[in-house]
Structure 1
Amino acid sequence: MNSTSRFEQFYFKIKGNRWYWVFSIFCRFSLAYAFIVAGMVKIVGERFASGLSEIHPMGAYLEALHHTGYYYTFIGIAQVVAAILLIIPRTVTIGAIMYFPIIINIWVLSLAVRFEGSFVTSSLMVLANSYVLVWNYDRLKYILPFKKYSNYGILEKPKKYNNKFPFIFFTTVVAIVGVTVGIFVFGYEVMPRNSLSDCKKQFVNTEKETVGLQFCECIHKKGNPLNECLEEYKNVTIQ
C-alpha cells in the first residue's frame, strides 16, 4: 500500500467523523471573519493597523502599501472574495485555494519583521487554511501532481456521522497553539513590539537593559531597518 492509499483511508475516516467536520466549519468561518474585517479596512481606504508608527518596520510597510492606490483596494477585495467563497459550501475549495497564497504572504511578512500583531494569528491561520484544504482533498486531488489516486469522486455528506471524539487530534491542535504562542513569547531574544514603551518593557531589570533600550530607540525613534537594529544589538551583546 503506497502513501497515497494510506492517506486516503485516513481521509475517509475523518470525513465521517462529526468532530472533524465541526472543526472544518470553525476554521472556515474564523478565516472568513478575519479576512472580511481586514479586507473591508482596505476597501474603505483606511490604513491597516493605523495606530502603528510609520517608522516601525511593519508600520513603514503598511504605510507604503496604503499609498499604492487601487492595488491596496484590490488586496482588500481579494480578501473579502476569498472569505465569502470560504463561507459558501459549494465554493469552499476555491476559496481555500485563493486564501492560501494571501495568508502565506502575510505569515512570512509577519515573521520577517517580527510583527506581534499577526505573528501568532497568521501562523494559526496558515494551519487552519491547510486543514480546510486537506478536508477538501476529494476535490483537490484532481489538480495535485499525484501519479495514482482513487477515483471515488467527490464524497457526499454522510447520512450519519461518527460521534467519537478524536482526543489525539484535538490534543495535537491545542499543543500546536501552545507551541506557536510559546515561540512568540520565548522564541526570539528581542522583539521590536508595537510601541517604544512596550519594546522597553522586555529589557527592564535585565542585564541587557542598556543595549535593549538602544535597540528600541533604533526602531521607534530613529526608524532604522529591523536587520540593522538587530545587528547593532548583537554586536554589543557579544562583546
Structure 2
Amino acid sequence: MKEKLWIQIFIIYTRYMIGGAFVFASLIKIKGKRFTSLSGASEPIDTAWHFFETMYQSGLYWKFIGIGQLIAGGLLMTQRYAKLGALLNLPIITNVFIITLSYYFAYTPVVTGLMLFANILLIIWDWNELKVIINLPPIFHKKKRFEKDKTWEITGITLFLFTFIYRLLVDGYDPFFWAGVCFLVGITGLIIGLKRKRIYYPKENIS
C-alpha cells in the first residue's frame, strides 16, 4: 500500500492539514490572546468559556500550550520530521478531543475526533520505523518513495511560514483568505510534485 501514489499523497496532505491547523491555533496563545469570548448563550457554553478563561489567565501555561502546538504542527508540515511531529501531536490532540467531549462544543467533537483518528493513522503509517520506541526492531525502506520527494518539504515549509507570519501579524484574521492561500500553495506543490514524479519516479505504482 505504501507504494501507491494516491495513498502517499493522502498522507502528505493529512500532515499539512493537521499541522497547519495547530500552527494556526498556536499563535494566538503564544501572543497571549484569548482563544474565545463569552457568548452568554447558554450555561454549557458559559462553563466552557470559564474553562478557557482560566487557562488564559494562567499566562505562562497558555503560552506553553501554544508553543507545544506550534512545534508539533511545524514538524508535521516539514514532512522530513513528520514522524516526530505525529508523536508529539498525539497527546495534544487527544487532550483537545477529551476537552470537547467534556464541555458543550456542539459538533466540535466530530472535528477533533477526526483529527485524532488522522493523527493515529499517521503513526500507523510510519509504525515500521516508530516501533523502535517500544524496543522492537525498526524496518527501514530502502526504496525511495514519492512521499520523500523534496517538493513536499518545500511546500510544507512554505505553508508553515505563511501561516506563522500571517497569524503572527494579524489578529483579526480572515479564515477564507488564509485557507485560500494555503489551498493555492498546496495545489501548486501537487502539480510540481506530479511533474517530478514522471521524471524521478517513473516506475512507482500509480494505482
TM range (shorter): 0.5 to 0.7
Query: How do 1:162-201 and structure 2 match up within 5 A?
Result: 162-164=205-207
- How far off is 1:49 after superposition? 2.1
Give yes or no for contact 1:138–1:155 (8 Å, CA) kept in 2. no
- How far off is 1:70 after superposition? 0.9
Output the CA distance in 2 between the equivalents of 1:133 and 1:57. Answer: 34
TM-score by length of 2: 0.65
- Comparing both chains, which one has the higher relative contact order based on Cα–Cα distances under 8 Å and sequence gaps of 6 or more? 2
**Which residue of 57, 63, 68 corresponds with 2:53?**
63
Query: How do 1:71-86 and structure 2 match up within 5 A?
Result: 71-86=61-76
1:90 aligns with 80
Give yes or no for contact 2:6–2:206 (8 Å, CA) kept in 1. yes
**Which residue of 20, 23, 42 corresponds with 2:29?**
42
Give yes or no for contact 1:16–1:162 (8 Å, CA) kept in 2. yes
SS in structure 1 at match of 2:80: helix
Larger Rg: 1
- How far off is 1:154 after superposition? 4.2
Higher helix residue share: 2
Output the CA distance in 2 between the equivalents of 1:72 and 1:132. Answer: 27
Output the CA distance in 2 between the equivalents of 1:20 and 1:125. Answer: 17
- How far off is 1:51 after superposition? 5.0
- How far off is 1:47 after superposition? 1.0
1:161 aligns with 204
Q: Which runs of 5+ in 2 are unaligned?
A: 146-200
> RMSD of the alignment, in Å?
2.1
Output the CA distance in 2 between the equivalents of 1:117 and 1:37. Answer: 20
Provide, for residues 53-98 of structure 1, a one-character-per-residue CA deviation record: whole Å limited to 9, x for no partner. 4961211110101001111001001101111100112211111000
Does residue 1:136 correspond to 2:116, yes or no?
Answer: no
2:117 aligns with 127
Query: How many pairs align?
Result: 148
Q: Structure 1 residues 52-61 or 125-134, which shifts more?
A: 52-61
Output the CA distance in 2 between the equivalents of 1:152 and 1:22. Answer: 22
Output the CA distance in 2 between the equivalents of 1:130 and 1:163. Answer: 25
Q: Structure 1 residues 89-98 or 45-54, which shifts more?
A: 45-54
2:11 aligns with 24
Give yes or no for contact 2:72–2:88 (8 Å, CA) kept in 1. yes
Output the CA distance in 2 between the equivalents of 1:76 and 1:116. Answer: 23
Q: Which runs of 5+ in 1 are unaligned?
A: 1-13, 165-239
